[in-house]
Amino acid sequence: MTDMLSRTHTIALDAADPLRLMRAEFLIPKYKNNDQAYFCGNSLGLQPRSARAHVQQVLDKWAHEAVEGHFTGEAQWLTYHEQVREPLARVVGAQPAEVVAMNSLTANLHLMMVSFYRPTAERPAILMEAGAFPSDRYALESQVRFHGFDPAADLIELQPDEADGTLSMAAIARAIEEHGPRLALILWPGVQYRTGQAFDLAGIVRLGHAQQAVVGFDLAHAVGNVPLRLHDDGADFAVWCNYKYLNAGPGAVAGCFVHERHANTDRPRFAGWWGHDRDTRFQMGPDFVPTPGAEGWQLSNPPVLAMAPLLASLELFDKAGGISALRSKSLKLTGLLEALIRTRLSDTLQIVTPGEPERRGCQLSLRVSGGRQRGRELFEYLASVGVLGDWREPDVIRISPAPMYNRFMDVYRLVEEVETWRGV
Ligand SMILES: Cc1ncc(COP(=O)(O)O)c(C=O)c1O
């Protein structure tokens, strides 16, 4: 074991971490009166301490002002959703008018496809990755059927070509080239939920647009995890949830990006009154005039109580110095986990996630030597000693050190616990 991977050095990493104070902004679940080593930010991020006060403020306003709460003060409900616009845009590398917080991820994916999946007889197909998150597959398949096409022919699922179930950019490029003339839409993840692989979004946009396909992204596992440049990369649309690395709470209001070039599109859309032009919304006219930009896809007035924790969370992203500061800690944190596994646990754990830092976010997906049963045993042992990862069928333990609140010593503790389980 080299000195760089020692306990002493790990303690020093925490002491020197410029983001070390961010952890105190979160409520860390307990294990026997001590903090859990919580590695499930890829599933549900931890609660910002300030979330309670933000929710309480809405409750108080409701109690004291009732309907007037829509119109009074800076946090008035009429424009409450606009407060999250700029910080959210910063996190995804967008212009403020390109993002909106609304609905849930799958609902937003459907709304985006109403506008951006317009299949024709010549160009009916969607390209996606095989093994995508099931909700995406259900949504895409149902859209293909909705338009009267056959998913067996027109939902093209690209199989992994790399040993650990990951995908090379060459394979993606070949598929886009091969199916190009038939592609209406490419829907791709920013980070794959099971393998933790991060993709070259700009490259996928470039290849897709060269074939005249629309390119959209599911950023559930990418947002708040890796730096994104949605505007510059030129994505047509993107959707994401805010309950993972964005720490906005279970079932949090989701996010949606529509590129500026579609701000005034005449593509069809499913409309609702909150998407109507802000200036004339309350004239209550019969004809829908969309608000330019992503807000034009809103349906209903926003769930203000649910939006409050998102606001709390986004304030912490700014306080941390933004996604680039978080990413630079993340590279070290996940790098430490990888190095410790490779030097101390190589007989026990196989890393599924790509080794190149630019091809992953903070998550490492692990397979346990000996197969699924051994994997379950380790997963359950870790949970029993307060080290929380999560399990994805058929045989993967996902460990996501989140730079916002995880310590380097959390990673060290995980490795020591795996050694204890294995019998050092
Ligand atoms: C990659 C991905 N896509 C879609 C979803 C579905 O999200 P929702 O239930 O918010 O629609 C999830 C949920 O975890 C996910 O991880």
Model confidence over 335-373: pLDDT tens digits? 999 999 999 999 999 999 999 999 999 999 999 999 999
How do strand 237-240 and strand 214-218 relate by DSSP bridges? parallel
Atom of ligand 1 nearest to the CA of 251: 10
Q: Average pLDDT, stretch 71-83?
A: 92
d(CA 104, ligand 1 centre) in Å: 9
Write down the pLDDT at residue 74: 85
Write down the pLDDT at residue 3: 85
d(CA 36, ligand 1 centre) in Å: 25
Single-letter residue type at 296: G
Atom of ligand 1 nearest to the CA of 193: 1
129 lines ligand 1 (CB under 6 A): no
d(CA 359, ligand 1 centre) in Å: 21
User: Does an H or E element contain 239, and which?
Assistant: strand 237-240
218 lines ligand 1 (CB under 6 A): yes
Q: Average pLDDT, stretch 52-57?
A: 98
Residue among 258, 300, 227 at smallest CA distance from 97: 258
| Nearest protein Cα to ligand 1, atom 5 | 135
d(CA 225, ligand 1 centre) in Å: 15
Do residues 159 and 321 make contact, with C-beta atoms less than 8 angstroms apart?
no
Write down the pLDDT at residue 1: 47
104 lines ligand 1 (CB under 6 A): yes
Q: Residue 118: count other Cβ atoms within 10 Å of its Cβ.
A: 15
- With cut-offs at 50, 70 and 90, classify the pLDDT of residue 111: very high
pLDDT over 80 at 268, yes or no: yes
pLDDT over 70 at 64, yes or no: yes
Helices (H), 66-104: 82-92
Atom of ligand 1 nearest to the CA of 189: 1
Name the phi and psi angles at 324, rounded to 5.
Answer: -70, -35
396 lines ligand 1 (CB under 6 A): no
pLDDT over 80 at 424, yes or no: no
